[in-house]
């Protein structure tokens, strides 16, 4: 079967660093996506990993270990506007399988 | 910025009405998707399409139907709306399904309330 798991909620302080973990199981893997979704809005693309290692894009970085079925999203220099849900999704043969999302609250 | 549009953005209707939620994209993407999402909850795939004249049911059972007569257009229809259909409906499209081509671009969503 296939499944994907990430924490339900996390909190952090403005200016801090937070790591959101994601583990997955699947027989067919074509890459891993991270999306950001603000309350009441549509998800927007953050990052894509298909090879092991770290992909850095400004304040956001994403890491993948295919052998461990593990990814994380690292958010640095947190800002209040980073309060949102972060969705992990892996690509199988014909669609994306989304996790339930991690709701991140950033406090002053 | 993604070129995918949904109308209406908000809809309040009475039980038993037939409704169609519109979704259009101008990116020439073959793959299109419909998701249902309650506030603060996970995305549920209810329908998807590989291309013209192709439609598939998703992971969540839904009483809605879809059609794909043109590449750019993927409407979702509820023949008889019920309060249990109250939710946000998100449309998405992607160039393909493999690797980076599987990146999905989402429309702004339709928030449906059935009284």
Nearest to A90 by CA among A53, A55, A60, A64: A64
Is A39–B39 a contact, with Cβ atoms under 8 angstroms apart? yes
In the predicted model, what is the mean pLDDT of chain A? 94
Which residues of chain A does B98 touch, with a Cβ-Cβ cutoff of 8 Å? 30, 91, 93
Which residues of chain B does A103 touch, with a Cβ-Cβ cutoff of 8 Å? 40
**pLDDT at A37 > cutoff 60:** yes
Residue A82, SS3 per DSSP: helix
CB burial readout A45-84, b (16+ within 10 A) else e? ebbbbbeeeeeeeeebbbbbeeeebebbbebeebeeebbb
Predicted local confidence at residue A39, as pLDDT: 92
Residue pLDDT, tens place only, A80-103: 999 999 999 998 877 888 999 999
B109 in reach of chain A (CB within 8 A): yes
B14 in reach of chain A (CB within 8 A): no
**pLDDT at B40 > cutoff 90:** no
B106 in reach of chain A (CB within 8 A): yes
Residue pLDDT, tens place only, B18-34: 999 999 999 999 999 99
B38 in reach of chain A (CB within 8 A): no
Percent of chain B with pLDDT over 70: 98
DSSP letter at A94 equals S
Is B102–A31 a contact, with Cβ atoms under 8 angstroms apart? yes
B105 in reach of chain A (CB within 8 A): yes
Contact at 8 Å (CB) between B85 and B112? yes
Q: Work out the pLDDT band at A48, boundaries 50, 70, 90.
A: very high
Predicted local confidence at residue B86, as pLDDT: 96
Q: Work out the pLDDT band at B98, boundaries 50, 70, 90.
A: confident
Is B99–A31 a contact, with Cβ atoms under 8 angstroms apart? yes
Q: Which two tokens stand for residue A37?
A: 């979704």
Is A94–B50 a contact, with Cβ atoms under 8 angstroms apart? yes
Percent of chain B with pLDDT over 90: 83
Q: Work out the pLDDT band at B49, boundaries 50, 70, 90.
A: very high
Is B106–A42 a contact, with Cβ atoms under 8 angstroms apart? yes
Q: How many CB pairs under 8 A join A and B?
A: 58
How far A87 CA lies from chain B's nearest CA (Å)? 9
């Amino acid at each position: 079967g296939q499944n994907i798991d990430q924490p339900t909620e996390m909190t952090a302080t403005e200016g801090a660093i937070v790591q959101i973990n994601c583990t997955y199981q699947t027989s067919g893997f074509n890459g891993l996506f991270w999306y950001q979704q603000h309350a009441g809005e549509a998800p927007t693309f953050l990052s894509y990993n298909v090879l092991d290692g770290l992909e850095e894009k400004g304040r956001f970085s994403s890491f993948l270990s295919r052998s461990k079925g593990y990814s994380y999203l690292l958010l640095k220099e947190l800002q209040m506007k980073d309060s949102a849900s972060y969705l992990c999704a892996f690509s199988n043969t014909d669609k994306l399988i989304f996790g339930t999302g991690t709701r991140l609250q950033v406090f002053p | 910025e993604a070129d995918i549009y949904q109308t209406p953005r908000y809809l309040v209707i009475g039980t038993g009405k037939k409704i169609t939620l519109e979704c259009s994209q101008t990116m020439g993407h073959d793959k299109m998707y419909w998701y249902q999402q309650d506030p603060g909850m996970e995305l549920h795939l209810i329908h998807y399409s590989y291309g013209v004249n192709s439609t598939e049911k998703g992971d969540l059972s839904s009483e809605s139907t879809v059609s794909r007569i043109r590449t750019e257009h993927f409407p979702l229809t509820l023949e008889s709306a019920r309060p249990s259909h109250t939710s946000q409906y998100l449309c998405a499209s992607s160039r393909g399904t493999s690797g980076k081509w599987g990146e999905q671009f989402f429309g702004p969503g339709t928030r449906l309330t059935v009284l």
